[in-house]
Amino acid sequence: MAKISLTKTIDAVKLNKRTGFPESGPEVNIPFGALVEQLGVDRDTVKFSYLGEPYRCSEDLWDSATRGSAPAAASPVAAPAPAAIEQPAGPTLQWRAMASNRFAPLRAKVPGGWLVTLDGSAVTFVPDAAHEWDGGSPA
């Protein structure tokens, strides 16, 4: 990752290295001219690294403190354009929606059972060799 020099002092929240959650305590002052590396964007905040420690600040503050440090086309906050995904030749998973009163579950038939996902964020395997499960909860 490219290092970016801050054009002004900013206050940022220190993040736990392991969990990525904010640590308790006051905001940390990151000085003018500090070299930082952007780690990512999360909603309206930017996560970055300073002296090997993770921090976050508002996207507006980040933009004002890094303006001019990188060309506009390579703005550290801009997400890269998604590349076209080529569909592989051959068999594909057929995801089917399941009725739910809370989430948006999907399931796909695989050898030995089902792959199930909630809102596309995680996948789990449900063993069912005969594929008898109708997708509902037990009564």
Instruction: For the chain, 139 residues long, give each residue's pLDDT as a single digit of tens.
Output: 678 889 899 999 999 988 888 998 899 999 988 899 888 887 888 899 999 999 999 988 988 888 745 433 334 445 555 666 676 777 788 888 888 777 778 898 999 999 888 766 688 899 999 999 888 877 6
How many whole angstroms separate alpha carbon 46 and alpha carbon 39?
8
On the 0-12 / 13-18 / 19+ scale of CB atoms within 10 A, 80 is exposed
> Is residue 107 within 8 Å of residue 134, measured between CB atoms?
no
Q: Does a structural domain hold residue 86?
A: no
User: What's the CATH code of the domain at 32?
Assistant: 2.30.30
User: Looking at residue 113, what is its pLDDT?
Assistant: 92
Q: Does a structural domain hold residue 79?
A: no
Domain of 97 in residue numbering reads as 93-139
φ and ψ at 47, to 5 degrees? -95, 135
User: Looking at residue 54, what is its pLDDT?
Assistant: 93
User: Looking at residue 127, what is its pLDDT?
Assistant: 92
How many whole angstroms separate alpha carbon 9 and alpha carbon 11?
7
* 62 and 98 share one domain: no
Q: Does a structural domain hold residue 12?
A: yes
* 21 and 53 share one domain: yes
Number of domains in the chain: 2
